[in-house]
Amino acid sequence: MTTIQISQDLQKELNKMKLYNKETYEEVIWNIIEDTQELTEQTKKEIELARKEFKQGKFVTHAKLKQELGA
């Protein structure tokens, strides 16, 4: 076991990420690591493409889609 120092701001952010009250910071950090490792290279490419398209204005808002579908 090793002790690390973190800022109060980071501690607050980690607290927000807890899935349950007694979850340890180690568990929170492992969850973050696991989440980032689950992205495949294809998924990363698709996310990057979606970000580029969004910046270029190639998207439809929820309201616009509802209007187009008559919902």
Output the pLDDT for position 1: 83
Residue 32 neighbours by CB under 8 Å, 6+ apart? 17
Residues 17, 31: contact at Cβ < 8 Å? yes
How far apart are the C-alpha atoms of 21 and 9, rounded to whole Å?
A: 18
Q: Residue 16 has what DSSP assignment?
A: H
Output the pLDDT for position 39: 79
Q: Is the pLDDT of residue 71 over 90?
A: no
- pLDDT, tens only, 4-58: 999 999 999 999 999 999 999 999 999 999 887 877 888 889 999 999 999 999 9
Residue with tokens 């490792």: 37
Output the pLDDT for position 48: 95
Output the pLDDT for position 22: 95
How far apart are the C-alpha atoms of 63 and 71, rounded to whole Å?
A: 9
